[in-house]
Amino acid sequence: MVIAITRDVSPRFSECEITHIERTPIDLEVARAQHYEYVNVLKELGCHVIELPAKADLPDSVFVEDTAFILPEVAVITRPGADSRKPETESIVRELATHIKLVHVREPATVDGGDVLVLGKNIYIGLSSRSNQEAIDELNEMLHEYGYKVTGVQMHDCLHLKSAVTRVDDKTLLINKSWVDIHHFENFELIEVDPGEPFAANCLPIGDSIIFPTSFPKTCTKLVERGYKVTTVDVSELAKAEGAVTCCSLIID
């Protein structure tokens, strides 16, 4: 069974970190309602969802993806790039330790899980304001015994690598070519986001379905026309905090 770890929205969510978009007012109750529906979709798709309680003192903590990334062999506990987010890993460590072996990123490395794209034995990390070269070097050394190669990817105009490119299936990626160096992904079939939907490159495959935001109907149509089963969710309020569908869960497959 697929396990999905989520965390409820913090009452201080409106104090979230903002990097690449303009801060706009966030309706906390709408954000909570959208997150509730997101969790329900995970359940409907067959996930066993572990719902962690909100962390009142950690505004961004609903975005659990940034605290870890999970491989078949180990879960890597990250060291988030924003100082305000570093404490988020503590409770995630306690939960993940009951499911899988853990390894930890150490100072001076910083890396957000949203910058980590795992494609088979290749791991790509966005060189962003949150993730640095030291993390790439450390992870290459740490994960070499499991056969992984970690590569840095140049990107711009977005917070995380997975704002610009995400996995659809083993052969296919959803991508905004304007935001990321695409030469790393030449062996994949690339589905480009609609030009009018630059933030549409983030999707979450679960089983035979793709979780995708309702805000990007033209890109959604591209996925459907390729034969993918798409389940849409409204995460528009969460997106005001630079969140997306991969951000709100840690998936143990």
CATH code at position 109: 3.75.10.10
The proportion of the chain whose per-residue pLDDT surpasses 70, expressed as a percent, equals 100
| Mean confidence (pLDDT) of the chain | 97
Residue type, 116: V
- What type of residue is 64? V
pLDDT at 33: 98
What's the confidence (pLDDT) of residue 82? 96
Both structure tokens of 188: 């994949």
pLDDT computed for residue 157 by the predictor: 94
Query: 104-139, pLDDT tens digit by residue?
Result: 999 999 999 999 999 999 999 999 999 999 999 999
Output the pLDDT for position 96: 98
d(CA 76, CA 20): 26
Q: What is the pLDDT of residue 95?
A: 97
5 contact partners, CB below 8 Å, separation of at least 6:
49, 50, 52, 64, 92, 95, 96, 249, 250, 252
Total of domains in the chain: 1
Q: pLDDT band at 28, cuts 50/70/90?
A: very high
- Among 193, 154, 152, CA closest to 176: 193
Contact indicator for 204, 186 with CB cutoff of 8 Å:
no
Expressed as residue numbers, the domain containing 196 is 3-252
- Average pLDDT (50-78) is 98
The pLDDT value given to residue 41: 98
Marked catalytic residue, from 160, 203, 220, 248: 160
Residues 91 and 172: their CA atoms lie apart, in Å, by: 33
Query: For the chain, where are the alpha helices, taking DSSP H only?
Result: 28-44, 89-96, 133-143, 161-164, 217-225, 236-239
pTM value is: 0.97
Q: Please identify which of the residues 47, 203, 247, 248 carries the catalytic annotation.
A: 247
pLDDT tens track for 181-224: 999 999 999 999 999 999 999 999 999 999 999 999 999 999 99
Q: Choose among 180, 163, 158, 174: nearest CA to 230.
A: 174
Rg of the chain over Cα atoms, rounded to whole angstroms, equals 17
Task: Output the pLDDT for position 66.
Answer: 98
CB 62 within 8 A of CB 38: no
Q: State yes or no: is 160 an active-site residue.
A: yes
For the question of residue 247 being annotated catalytic, the response is: yes
Predicted local confidence at residue 129, as pLDDT: 93
**pLDDT score of 62:** 98
Element containing residue 213 per DSSP (H, E): strand 209-213
Rounded CA-CA distance 14/27 in Å is 8
Q: How far apart are CA 192 and CA 168, in angstroms?
A: 12
DSSP state of 186: T
β-strand pairing of 68-70 with 75-77: antiparallel
Task: Supply the pLDDT for residue 75.
Answer: 98
